[in-house]
Structures are given as C-alpha cells and as structure tokens.
Structure 1
C-alpha cells in the first residue's frame, strides 16, 4: 500500500498517515502533474492509492465457500469489455450483496478504469476466472445453481420471476448479447419489460434492475 495526495487533501488523511507511518508504508504529498502520472488519469480527485491487484479465485473454491448458504448469486459476464460498464457492474453488485463476478477475461475486472468506476465496490467483490463457459455452467448446475439468461425481447418478466436459492445470472455485451452457447446453457430466460422504443438497456442498467428486484424479493 502506498498513498499519494494533493496538499489540499492532506487534512483528510491524518489517521491514515499515522497508520502508514507505523506500518512503514509510503505516503507522500505530491503536485497535480505527479498525481495524474501515478493514477494514469486526470480524474483522480486529489488522491491515489497504489495497492496490490485483487486476487482472483477459482470457481470450485467459490462454490465450496457458498455451500452452506441457501441463497447465493453469481454474476457471469460474457464478452463485456468496456471498463466503465464493468466498474458500474461491480459497484451495483456490491450494493445488492453479490459476493462474486466471473469472467473469462478476469483481468478486465481489475483494470484501473473499472476499479475507479466501481467506487469501492471492487474491495468487496471476488473475481472468478473461468476458462470454459459450458464446463463452468455445468459445474454450477451440478452444485444446485439455476442459470438465468437475459434478453431484450424474449423471456418471462423479471417482475414475475421468483428469485431465491442458488442462482447464476449470465449477461452478455450490449451489441450482440449472449452467445448461442450461453443461451443453450440456460434454465430460464428473463427480460425487463419496457416501451420498446429503444433496442435495449445498457448492460449495467439491466443488471441493476434485475439485482434490485431480486434483493427486494429476498429481503421482504
């Protein structure tokens, strides 16, 4: 852990300075150009922390960690690469109590842009690396998980679906959606009803609506 911030923000980090000094970790007041270089962004808001990247976990280890839970949900992202979408998804997942997100491109879950956009969500979400979508879904099914896919035009309304138990929510990128392989692995397909005046919702918006409805049901 290393901390860098502008002089104007130093007063907010008095306790952190004491902690870092005791732990013999680096903290430093820097100028704006230095902070832009360190954070690789002009949108640093006056502070930059350099930390070890989050470690990914295996799907089997995550399944084992969830075995005693009667209610468990996993987000699986297929071909979603936009870091701002990914960051928004991580933030949404954290807000609604999701413990993990799986992707075949697990590095995309820990990019700088994604973590900045997640606004702290990346600190509480586990990253799961999957190599084979079909094998991963079959493993989850074997362990009692129901696989739900989403579509803009087909499926039962998310507001009629009864959430609960062990669930996998499978989402694809906005342009092409989920692959045929992914749809072939579904137990059920759900959709978000709307006016039909636009083709679809942003994937992070769709995830927020679905997770919100799930959260409402399991907490009532």
Structure 2
C-alpha cells in the first residue's frame, strides 16, 4: 500500500469511560481471547459506554497558524490573527482613560497638581491647561466655579473618594482635590530679559543645587510672596513636582520659569542688563569675604543667587556676597527661610 494512502487514513483512538464497570468476561478468558486469531473482532466488542474519537491528519500546518477568525466586540467585528492566544488583549471598554493611557506622553506633557490653594492658583492663572479634575464630595462646594467651567468646556471631572485620590497622587496630603494639567513651557533667560526690558524694578531668583521638592516649594512660595518675577533653574522640570507645587501653595503659577544650562554665563548676561547679582551663603564662612544683610544697599534690578553647596564660581561672579549672622546654638537657617529673610529687605 502506498505511504500517502496510509497517512490520509483516519487514526482511531478508544477512550475508556472513567466510571467503574463490571467486566463481562473473566480475566483469564480475556487473556485467551486476545491471544486468539480473531483478536481484531474481539477488540471491536468493547463496552457500549466506550467512545471512538477520530482524528484526521493535517496536511498543511502553517495554514492553521495563519488562519484568522472574527471576534464580536461591542457589536463590531474585528479580524484578529490566530498566531498565539496571548498575543493580543482586547478592551471591552472603548473609552480610553484620560490619565495613564500613554505613560511616556503623560510624563512629558502633563503633571498632577493637588491641594486646595495650588489647584485654585492653576484655575486663576492658566485654566486652559487643565485636562481633568478629581475631587471629593466634601470639596465640590469650594470648587463650584471650576466645575461649572469644566462642564462648559466639556472637560471631565470625577467625584471620587479620598482613598482614590491618594492612589492617583501617591500621597495622603492631597487636600481632597487633584488636577491633571499641561506642563508649563520654560523661557530662556534671553526671552525673559526681552519680555521684562521695560520694567524699572525686577527681581530674579537663581536657584542652584536645590533638589529637595519641599525646600524648592518653600523658596517659590517666598519668591511669590515678595514679588519675584522669575526663577532660574538648571532643571525646570523640578517645578512640575506635585510635592513642590503643594508646598508652594500656588506660588509656582505666579513666577516665570527660566531654564539655564550655564549659570556663570547667565549671571554675566544679567550683569550686562543692569542687574545687581547677590549671592546668599547658606552660613557664614570665614574663608569667604561676605557682608551682613543690614549693610547691603539693593538696586532696582536684583538677581539673588542661592545654593545649598557653596559654588565658588558663582560666588566669584556675584557683585555682593551676603550671609545671615546666627549664634552658637543655631549658626544657619533653612535655605528657604534664609531666602525669605533676604527678600523681605529688598523693598526697604
């Protein structure tokens, strides 16, 4: 017989039922029957509860792998390749979430703002940047105007529990309200100087090597309180931190963000535009010549340089170096507190 003919024949398997059955003949008789010449006929006389399963051999295995089938999803038919059962996951919900769907784009373009004052400041200064609102039922009355504006603009807002906002913000200090907003676009120092060239009085805060979001938020809050117009940083994305915004209590929205990759060159540019550059030491250092705060006369345009670790290049570039005199019990203040003390003397 030809080999191709043998392969095309169906293969027969016998599957026994799991239930126990009484043998219809003795074991000794079975032995003799299997050894008899009519063994094939005896083999067919099996229990009536047995079933016969027939498997037809496949001629083309690759065709099965490339076979496509139709899935009915939300009354729409989608063709899906049957290459692997784990290859694709189907969403039963056609609505894409506003936050967290495209992680890279979200981190690049959007950020979270939480706490009452910070969210109110965003709504006051740049409401067009708001994407979505998460709020608890208790806080809806205080943000009634914001909710009405979101409804008019057809933007989403969700009334959720405090625990759900805590999961979104990854903190318990959210104040029952959270906004998804577009990040601000930072200015270059040259653009800032061109935009503020007509001002007689101006103050710029140059912050170097302050990466703690709580210290940074305290600095921005003091800067906004004393009327500082611009804040210069190497990494302006630090101002988009939710913790820094919360500590700043909305002060981030009141100041311009200026990006500078080279602080020495930026300080020289400020000096060329008539700014008085003042470097504030974190504490009094004997090896560095500095003056006390009450001895300083401030000009109309001032740039205050702040750093946590003493940077001699910035100190040498400054017009005046200032320190706050302490005592043996407390020789230095927190960087944000010391900056507030200095800024309070600008208008005297």
Shorter-chain TM-score: which interval? over 0.9
Task: Compare CA radii of gyration and give the structure with the larger one.
Answer: 2
Determine helix, strand or coil for the equivalent of 2:326: coil
Query: Residue 212 in 1 paired to residue 347 in 2?
Result: no
Query: Residue 192 in 1 paired to residue 324 in 2?
Result: yes
User: What does 1:88-127 correspond to in 2, within 5 Å?
Assistant: 88-127=218-257
Shift of 1:13: 2.3
**Aligned counterpart, 1:27:** 157
Unmatched 5+ residue regions in structure 1?
none
Determine helix, strand or coil for the equivalent of 1:169: strand
- The total of aligned residue pairs comes to 213
Determine helix, strand or coil for the equivalent of 2:182: coil
Higher helix share: 1
**Aligned counterpart, 2:199:** 69
Determine helix, strand or coil for the equivalent of 1:117: helix
**Aligned counterpart, 1:166:** 301
Shift of 1:125: 1.1
Query: Residue 3 in 1 paired to residue 138 in 2?
Result: no
Within 2, Cα distance between the matches of 1:84 and 1:124? 18
Determine helix, strand or coil for the equivalent of 1:159: helix
Detail structure 1 runs of 4+ shifted over 6 Å in the superposition.
none
Determine helix, strand or coil for the equivalent of 1:214: coil
Within 2, Cα distance between the matches of 1:80 and 1:11? 37
Within 2, Cα distance between the matches of 1:144 and 1:184? 18
Query: Residue 135 in 1 paired to residue 265 in 2?
Result: yes
TM-score by length of 1: 0.92
Q: Is the 8 A contact 2:326 2:332 kept in 1?
A: no
Within 1, Cα distance between the matches of 2:143 and 2:266? 43
Within 2, Cα distance between the matches of 1:69 and 1:11? 40
Q: Write out per-residue CA displacement over residues 11-56 of structure 1, whole angstroms, 9 at most, x where no aligned residue.
A: 2222222111001111110012210122221111111111112221
Q: Is the 8 A contact 2:231 2:257 kept in 1?
A: yes
Q: 2:290 aligns with which of 139, 152, 155?
A: 155
CA RMSD of aligned residues (A): 1.3
Unmatched 5+ residue regions in structure 2?
1-129
Determine helix, strand or coil for the equivalent of 2:329: coil
Within 2, Cα distance between the matches of 1:16 and 1:104? 33
Determine helix, strand or coil for the equivalent of 1:195: coil
Within 2, Cα distance between the matches of 1:106 and 1:15? 30
Determine helix, strand or coil for the equivalent of 2:277: strand
Determine helix, strand or coil for the equivalent of 2:333: coil
Shift of 1:162: 1.4
